[in-house]
Structure 1
């Protein structure tokens, strides 16, 4: 049979669809979890008996993949990716897809190596200023932040006057440092940055934040006494991995904060700062 001649008596479209339909849901979902080349190869093997190879490569593979994914509730996007499952997918189908991913995941060729598959879409969700913040935190480590509240006995009835005051965006060289809360909120949403109630080791760094205009305005906004709560902002474990994979950090010093050597001279046997 020549490459230009389809299987006799069998419409090529129906043959391809029949063979795909003959696969179990587990096999279809398993194929979807594989890389693009791996997936295309398996689908080609399933329908090549009734379709010329050149036609499969040029026209059929993408159509078959989209049809299979559509049957599973996955909708192709215009950028070539796939949106989340449709709302009407039932619990049994969801469990089938999850089990299929685990089963197919035993194939070591499908496992990510140094670069996690989510790094690329995360990069697309970042602004340049957010990338600068990540790079800064990667080299400078945890940074101080303060919340300002009214002072009350045992904290009962205390009111928050300002929260998350920090200098990270300024120190990272952001073009719009006034949007730092937006940036840090998005980075936290992406799982790259964490907010902690634990302070940084050097308490002297908080005095600089308390002198900032936003902090002073909060102190003066009430007649009663206001106090600062010391907090910190730092990269999550996943954020550290992301920065190591996505940014060149070797020559970047974070404006000198990579080492933060103040040349302190200690006298006596008191505690040493790190």
Structure 2
């Protein structure tokens, strides 16, 4: 048999397989079109986020490279059965082990390339941008990630702190003769932020404040606010009175809750419009070293 006869099927074989191939092609086209419609909107959202978030942009590049490797390998096996793909991308180690590491391996050499050069390149790009006097940085790059880690109630609390200013907070501790020797905490960090900001779940405010503290948006000063009237209203609240009456002798320690400079800039950039962002909001104290205590739930 000639080489041409080995490669090309007979006319009858082609005629017999054509309907089956047509059905397969039609089904593939139908499913591909449906998949494209479902994923196009999600892809558009990710591309838009990648424009402002370096981490999203890096992940999108890695996923695209992996997809290209899979398609290339599949095409090679279909066209030339038994052929090895030029490059295979294994599952990124940062997904399996929680590390920010992506490995690209070739079957031919077994060589690996981690992201250390990429990180250095990104660092060099940041320094280059810092020297560019014409660059216009619109907000901190961490803002997009922080928005993903905030509850709706926490956004309301941040907006209230931005517009209303620092808020009073009190600790209720044991007092009397025993308090002179060693005072015990009864109720820490009581405040009126829940009621004043209109949160939906006021019982979660201590946890909300913990998260805002973790994100570097608020801090808790040991110093009281200058206006004593703020504390008179707070100390008449039911939860404060309950804590005071829970022991024979009790005392109140006045404190305050503030936005950090980063938190204030975040609020101006993400929680108000452009006109309001230029307004004069109440001033918050800057954090002091050793002056912030994390409130307990």
Whether the TM-score (by the shorter chain) exceeds 0.5 is: yes
2:81 is matched with which residue? none
Higher helix share: 2
Contact 2:172 2:253 in 1 (8 A): yes
**Structure 1 residue 229, shift from structure 2 partner:** 0.6
Structure having greater relative contact order (Cα 8 Å, sep ≥ 6): 1
1:164 is matched with which residue? 189
Residues 209 and 34 (structure 1 numbering): CA distance in 2 closer, same or farther, change over 3 Å? Answer: closer
Residues 155 and 100 (structure 1 numbering): CA distance in 2 closer, same or farther, change over 3 Å? Answer: farther
Alignment of 1:97-176 (within 5 A): 99-108=120-129, 113-151=137-175, 155-176=180-201
1:237 is matched with which residue? 261
**CA distance in structure 2 between the partners assigned to 1:60 and 1:142 by the alignment:** 52
1:217 is matched with which residue? 242
Residue 149 of structure 1: SS of its match in structure 2? Answer: strand
**CA distance in structure 2 between the partners assigned to 1:57 and 1:85 by the alignment:** 16
**CA distance in structure 1 between the partners assigned to 2:100 and 2:56 by the alignment:** 19
**Structure 1 residue 99, shift from structure 2 partner:** 4.5
Residues 62 and 106 (structure 1 numbering): CA distance in 2 closer, same or farther, change over 3 Å? Answer: farther
Residues 188 and 35 (structure 1 numbering): CA distance in 2 closer, same or farther, change over 3 Å? Answer: closer
Q: 1:248 aligns with which of 272, 277, 297?
A: 272
Alignment of 1:1-274 (within 5 A): 36=57, 59-60=67-68, 67=89, 70=92, 73-75=93-95, 84-85=99-100, 99-108=120-129, 113-151=137-175, 155-223=180-248, 225-248=249-272
1:49 is matched with which residue? none
Q: Please say which structure displays the higher CA radius of gyration.
A: 2
Provide the TM-score with structure 2 as the length reference.
0.54
Question: Residues 150-205 of structure 1: CA distance to partner in whole angstroms, max 9, x if unpaired?
Answer: 11567531011111110011111112223211211111111111111011121221
Structure 2: which 5+ runs fail to align?
A: 1-53, 73-87, 102-113, 283-297
Residues 74 and 199 (structure 1 numbering): CA distance in 2 closer, same or farther, change over 3 Å? Answer: same
Residue 204 of structure 1: SS of its match in structure 2? Answer: helix
Residue 247 of structure 2: SS of its match in structure 1? Answer: coil
**Structure 1 residue 233, shift from structure 2 partner:** 0.6
**CA distance in structure 1 between the partners assigned to 2:69 and 2:136 by the alignment:** 24
Structure 1: which 5+ runs fail to align?
A: 1-32, 44-55, 77-82, 87-92, 253-257, 260-274
Greater mean alpha carbon deviation, residues 104-113 or residues 155-164: 104-113
Provide the TM-score with structure 1 as the length reference.
0.58
**CA distance in structure 2 between the partners assigned to 1:188 and 1:179 by the alignment:** 14
Residues 96 and 227 (structure 1 numbering): CA distance in 2 closer, same or farther, change over 3 Å? Answer: farther
Residue 230 of structure 1: SS of its match in structure 2? Answer: strand
Residue 165 of structure 1: SS of its match in structure 2? Answer: strand
